Amino acid sequence: FKELRHESKLCFLYLSIFPEDYEINAEKMIHLLVAEGFIQEDEEMMMEDMARYYIDELIDRSLVKAERIERGKVMSCKIHDLLRDVIIKKAKELNFVNIYNEKHHSSAVCRREVVHHLVNDRVLCDRRVNKQMRSFLFIGERTGMVGGFVYTTNLKLKLLRVLNLGGLWISNKRYIYKSLPDVIGDLIHLRYLGIADTSVISLPASISNLRFLQTLDASGNT
């Protein structure tokens, strides 16, 4: 870890956001790294190409395993189980990310939070809002009702750069949400918005307020 350059260390630590044995889509990882601000601009290479370079470097060092390759390009990858434990430990030491699930979560204030498994979002809604949060990601099982969190707590996080709701059925007990609320346009610092494979099939006009938005992932929505 110490031998890695700064950007490669950030990419390596970022792998801690993914659940155990999770197949990581390389393109999604690249867009997330850019949105997080981990990749510096370069006159000779686009930031997305730089991000791919750092991922390839981790693979070359056997820190990450290439899972699917097409035409010589890594399309997906996985973390070795033992190395994942190391990454998570290091990420906790540096307060890099707070990984939340129903069985265990930290109460520490962190700018980056990830939910791997959630049956009901009431606990998240009831918690004190961390208004300094920069990234909030749902990554994992497609279960639970998250309407309350999406429509209340999320929209108070005005400094968010990354919001990923991919794979979630956005609903409450009475209603399935087909659109994001107008106030999504208040998250003016948002760089990445992931709503792939969700119930959302339309976006409000206020989405045009997100002038820094780099990636809108709505793949799989019908």
pLDDT at 62: 93
What is the average pLDDT score of the chain?
85
pLDDT at 165: 84
Instruction: Give the pLDDT confidence of 39-50 residue by residue, as tens digits.
Output: 988 888 999 999
CATH ID of 97-217, from 3.40.50.150, 3.40.50.970, 1.10.260.40, 3.80.10.10? 3.80.10.10
112, 134 contact by CB (below 8 A): yes
Provide the phi-psi class of 149: left if phi over 0, else alpha when psi is between -120 and 50, else beta: alpha
What CATH number belongs to 6-82? 1.10.10.10
pLDDT at 41: 83
Instruction: Give the pLDDT confidence of 93-149 residue by residue, as tens digits.
Output: 999 998 876 455 555 678 898 887 665 565 555 555 677 889 989 887 655 556 556
Q: At what angle do helices 6-14 and 26-36 cross, to 10 degrees?
A: 120
- More confidently predicted of 135 and 168: 135
* Confidence tier at 70 by pLDDT (50, 70, 90): very high
State the DSSP code for 189: T
- Residue-range domain boundaries for the chain: 6-82, 97-217
pLDDT at 35: 98
188, 212 contact by CB (below 8 A): yes
Q: Phi and psi (nearest 5°) for 204?
A: -75, 160
pLDDT at 193: 95
Mean of pLDDT values over 68-97: 93
pTM for this model (two decimals)? 0.89
